[in-house]
């Protein structure tokens, strides 16, 4: 079973994503803050990080950069989510692998998650 770590401060969105991805046989672990995310069990590595851009104690873009700069997590795909901005994919090796705007389409979520976790196979 593939694992997805979700960093999202809105409980409703967390619950919808967890329910949706669990129904697709993903193991889902959620975090509400950057602080909570940074205190996660580092020995466990997911197949995908899903990060909200705007968080109460930081930015998902900064978390993404940290993940991509860390040799342990640099190869794990990152999907950024935001209701506030569109992010254009760049050739920066420290940028996210994909972007999803909120509100999101359920089929689009599944498609993006399936595509990105396939990279980990």
pLDDT per residue rounded down to tens, the chain (121 residues): 999 999 999 999 999 999 999 999 999 999 999 999 999 998 899 999 999 999 999 999 999 999 999 999 999 999 999 887 655 555 555 689 999 988 899 999 999 999 999 976 5
Distance CA 41, CA 88 (A): 31
In this structure, how many other beta carbons lie within 10 angstroms of the beta carbon of residue 104? 16
User: Alpha helices, DSSP H only, in the chain?
Assistant: 11-23, 34-38, 60-69, 106-118
Beta sheet of 26-31, edge-to-edge order:
26-31, 2-7, 48-52, 78-82, 98-101
């Amino acid at each position: 079973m593939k694992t997805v770590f979700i960093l999202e401060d809105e409980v409703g969105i967390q619950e919808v994503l967890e329910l949706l991805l669990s129904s697709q046989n993903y193991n889902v672990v959620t975090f509400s803050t950057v602080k909570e995310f940074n205190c996660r069990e580092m020995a466990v590595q997911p197949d995908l990080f899903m990060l909200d851009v705007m968080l109460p104690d930081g930015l998902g873009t900064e978390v993404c950069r940290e993940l991509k700069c860390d040799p342990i997590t640099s190869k794990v795909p990152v999907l950024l989510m935001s209701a506030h901005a569109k992010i254009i994919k760049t050739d920066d090796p420290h940028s996210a692998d994909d972007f999803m705007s909120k509100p999101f389409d359920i089929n689009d979520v599944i498609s993006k998650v399936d595509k990105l976790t396939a990279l980990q196979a």
